[in-house]
Each structure stands twice: as structure tokens, then as C-alpha cells.
Amino acid sequence: MNDRQKLAGLFLAALFVTGRIEAAEARAAYTRNVAIVLYEGVEILDFAGPTEVFQSASGFGAVDGARAFRVFTVALAKEPLKSQGVVTITPEFSFAGAPHADIVVVPGGSSGRLTGSREAMAWIQKAVGEADVTLTVCTGAFALAKTPLVEGKSITTWYGAVEGLKKAAPHSTVEAGRRFIDNERFITTAGVSAGIDGSLHLVARLLGRAVADRTARYMEYHWTPEAYLSEHYQLLNPSTDERGRSLQLAKIHQDEGRADEAVRICRDLIAKDASDASAWYQLGQIAHQRGEFAEAAAAFDRAAAKADLKAWALYNRACALARGGRSSEAFSALRDAVKTGSITRAVVEEDTDLGSLHARPEFAAILASMDRKN
């Protein structure tokens, strides 16, 4: 199932509320804004690692059609800047125009450019003071050290900057040899790749160990949280209700090869509410994996009734129909999926599930229509 399975899997935990206005309110209430601070000379992996974690976990932790995180970049200005002199990035927001951040990520690198800017530090002081959690990577900790917010707390940084941080934060306890230190509102990590560990820890803290594990697995990252921390993680997303937890359990059973148990859970949910699109969607995935393409197509058809799942449910339906030899219906579902604007050409063109359609002129016409939209 390749890229389609990876992308579509981001929506498995989605549940739905009644009405478009209620759904929008639920999304706004649940989704946390994650601001990734950028500046000239920022370390690549310092910001890219946490960005990957939160962006991936956003779908794995989705609830009620709402993604767990809205990740954006912010800098002094919306002008291109270079990371380590080789990668050019254009920030999405300037400090002056950035939305409220629930989580602030301050990466390291040439962090003196950040701490030496009065305007940047004014935004950081305000944003960090209002945020639920701030996570620093490497020398990003020096930005926190310029505020009184971590006085009396234990913090850490890249091993080569420990002595400098001790001088910059004389009223904090700077600990060397720590991968990260969690002070509830402030998480400071060691250098470069340590930002991934700190971010996965925060995901586990907020969304449960299962979401963090799925994120690490998707990233193919060897994550081994320390026992004294991991014993406090809840397995399932603490923000979900009983129904949401049931869907998460079903996914765990599916991942561990107990598809029959996953099907039972989904069927139980559907028995309680025949319009439960998430349960139908998950049934479709299980059926597809088993090669039961007619059943998969029917399940995805039911899932497509809900707006937040429509695009990927239609796309998966097209894949199941194509695998089942029902080309005409597959093209119809694929056209409808493409019309939503959520499906990219690369996904359609490279998906082996659609292999039986590739040589047909209808397939070329669909790809051409996607080119015209772009």
C-alpha cells in the first residue's frame, strides 16, 4: 500500500462530531499550535527533527477529525534564511504576525543571532510565557537562559556548551550527560538528535505511548525512553473518550497481527453507531490487507460519508476496486478523490495498488487534470 497507506493511516484515530460548526470548534479546541523558531544559522536537525516528530504525530494522534498539532515555522521576518549554510528555508510567519503557540520549539545552532536580537527575545519571552510547553534543542537553551523562567530549575544543552550555559544561567542547575530534562513547562535537550527524543517524550506525555511509538516507528527512529519517565506514560491518548480508546486498541491489535480482534472492536463500534466512519475506515484497511477487496471497497464507501475522511476514503476505495478488477468503478472513485484536492500526483502515480489502471487513457487524463490544478 506504500505511500497511500502511510498517508491514509494518519487518519485512523479520527472520530467525528455532529455538524460542521461543532466539528470546527472541536478541531480548534483539540489541536495544539507548535511554533518552530528559525534564524540564520539554525542547526538543520535541531529544527527538522522536532518538526518531523510533531508533524507525524499530528495525524497519529488525531481525534474527532482534528489533528493533534498544527506545526508552523516562525522567524524575525518571512524572508529566506539558511541553515548551516546549505539549506534555505522560508518561515511561514514573522514574529510580529505569528499565531499563539501552545508549544514553542527553540533549536540551536548560531543561537547568538537569536539571543542577540532584542525583537526576537521579546517575542520568545512573551511566547514562552504564554505557551503550555517550551522545548529547546542544543544551544536553544541559551534563549531560555536569558529569561527568568528557568531560574531554580535543572536544564541541559549540547555537551560542548555546558560550561557556557552555566555562566549564562547562574541561577539554574546545568546538568551534563542528560539526553533531556523535563520540568513540565520546559523541556531542554542535549544536542542535535536529542531534540527527537525530547519531542517524542512530549508526544508520549500529551498523546500517550502508543502514538509516540507509532511516530518513532514511522520515522524508523530507535527510541528508548528511560524507565523512570516511561512508567508515567499512558498507553492510549488521554484526550480521547472510550470510543477513541477502542479505536486505538483496534489499531494496536491490527499492527500486532491480531486482525480478528481489531475487526471485532470495529464491528462493536459500528453496532452502536452505524455511521462511525473511523470504524468503517479501519475495517477497510484490514480487509485490504487481507486481500478482501470487495469488503474493503464497501467499508471505504461508508467511511467517505464523513467530510474529514472523504478524500482518503475515496482514494482507498479506488485502490481496493482496482485490486479487485473493477476498473470502471475504480476510476470513478479516483476522480472523486482527486477532486477533493487532498491527493497528490506523486501518490497516485506511484501507488502499486493502481497498477492495473496505469496503461489506461483514463489514468493519464486524471494525472493531466491534477497538473492543470497545480
State residue 16's pLDDT score: 30
Q: How big is the CA angle at 71 (ends 65 and 77), to the nearest 5 degrees?
A: 145
When pLDDT is cut at 50, 70 and 90, the band that residue 320 belongs to is very high
Domain count, the chain: 2
Grid cell in block for residue 36: 518552530
Whole-structure pTM value: 0.81
CB 321 within 8 A of CB 337: no
Residues 208 and 251 sit within 8 Å (Cβ to Cβ): no
Partners of residue 89 on adjacent β-strands: 81
CATH number at 168 reads 3.40.50.880
Reduced to 3 states (helix: H, G, I; strand: E, B; else coil), residue 33 is: strand
- DSSP states of 228-272: HHHTT--SS-TTS-HHHHHHHHHHHHHHTT-HHHHHHHHHHHHHH
Last residue of a domain, one of 198, 230, 262: 230
Residue 5 pLDDT > 70, yes or no?
no
Domain ends where: 230, 263, 286?
230
Residues 342, 305, single domain; the answer is yes
Per-residue confidence at 374, pLDDT binned at 50, 70, 90?
low
Question: Which of 309, 307, 314, 279 lies closest to 20 in space, CA to CA?
Answer: 307
Sign of CA dihedral 283, 286, 292, 294: positive
pLDDT at 1 over 70: no
Per the structure, the complete domain to which residue 247 belongs is given by 242-373
- Residue 32 host element (H or E): strand 32-37
| Residue 288 predicted with pLDDT over 90 | yes
Residue 135 CB burial class (10 angstroms; 0-12, 13-18, ≥19): buried
Query: Are 212 and 111 members of one domain?
Result: yes
Q: What confidence tier does 373 reach under pLDDT thresholds 50, 70, 90?
A: low
Q: Is 339 found in the same domain as 271?
A: yes
CA atoms within 13 A on the CB side of 187: 27
Residues 40 and 91 in one domain: yes
Contact at 8 Å (CB) between 69 and 55? yes
Tell me, what's the pLDDT at 239? 82
Whether 167 has a pLDDT exceeding 80, the answer reads: yes
Beta carbons of 138 and 107 less than 8 angstroms apart: yes
What per-residue confidence (pLDDT) applies to 25? 41
pLDDT of amino acid 6: 42
Look-up of cell digits 510547553: 133
**281 domain-assigned:** yes
Q: Please, what is the average pLDDT of the chain?
A: 90
Please report which confidence band the pLDDT of residue 307 belongs to, taking 50, 70 and 90 as the band edges: confident
**323 plus 364 within the same structural domain:** yes
What is the structure's pLDDT at 28?
A: 54
| Same domain, yes or no: 315 and 174 | no
Which residue in the block uniquely carries the three cell numbers 539571543? Answer: 115
179-197, pLDDT tens digit by residue?
999 999 999 999 999 999 9
| One domain for residues 364 and 265 | yes
CATH of the domain at 336: 1.25.40.10
Rounded Cα gap, residues 69 and 61, in angstroms: 8
333: number of Cβ within 10 Å: 24
pLDDT reported for residue 57? 97
Summarised one tens digit per residue, pLDDT across range 92-151 is: 999 999 999 999 999 999 999 999 999 999 999 999 999 999 999 999 999 999 999 999
* Domain end marker among 195, 230, 265: 230
Grid cell, residue 156, equals 541541559
Whether the pLDDT of residue 10 is over 50: the answer is: no
Residue 64 confidence class, pLDDT cut points 50, 70, 90: low
Answer whether residue 205 is part of any domain.
yes
Say whether pLDDT at 21 is over 60.
Answer: no
Among 128, 155, 123, 119, residue whose Cα is nearest residue 139? 155
Q: Are residues 180 and 124 in the same domain?
A: yes
Is the model's pLDDT at 254 over the cut of 70?
A: yes
Task: Give pLDDT tens digits for 185-237.
Answer: 999 999 999 999 999 999 999 999 999 999 999 999 999 888 888 888 999 99
